[in-house]
């Protein structure tokens, strides 16, 4: 087994590496950076908590602007999120 595959197996376990190989073997897959995954999770929480009247509170809680929240809501409603 090539060294990089050994490193993958050490990181995620041989069973998980085998599963990835079974599903995606031979193809290239994109794995987003952790920051992007965290951002999407934060946006998901904001959408769940949004009431239409709590924009300021959410902006403070998640350290983003109210404008960003409104843009998120607009994208969500347009099914672009």
Cα–chain-centroid distance for residue 68? 17
Q: Which of 54, 50, 55, 51 is nearest to 66 (CA)?
A: 55
pLDDT at position 79: 80
Structural domains present in the chain? 1-31 (no CATH), 34-77 (1.10.10)
pTM across the whole model: 0.62
How far CA 56 is from CA of 45, 66, 72, 76, 81, in Å, comes to 15, 6, 14, 19, 21
Q: What is the pLDDT of residue 81?
A: 53
The DSSP code for 79 is T
What are 17-76's pLDDT values in tens digits? 999 999 999 999 999 999 999 999 999 999 999 999 999 999 999 999 999 999 999 988
**Integer Cα distance of 43 and 45 in angstroms:** 5
């Amino acid at each position: 087994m090539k060294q990089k595959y050994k490193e993958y197996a050490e990181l995620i376990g041989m069973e998980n590496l085998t599963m990835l190989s079974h599903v995606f073997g031979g193809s290239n897959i994109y794995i987003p950076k952790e920051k992007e995954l965290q951002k999407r999770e934060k946006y998901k929480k904001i959408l769940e908590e949004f009431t239409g009247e709590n924009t300021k509170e959410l902006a403070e809680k998640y350290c983003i602007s109210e404008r960003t929240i409104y843009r998120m809501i607009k994208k969500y409603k347009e099914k672009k999120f």
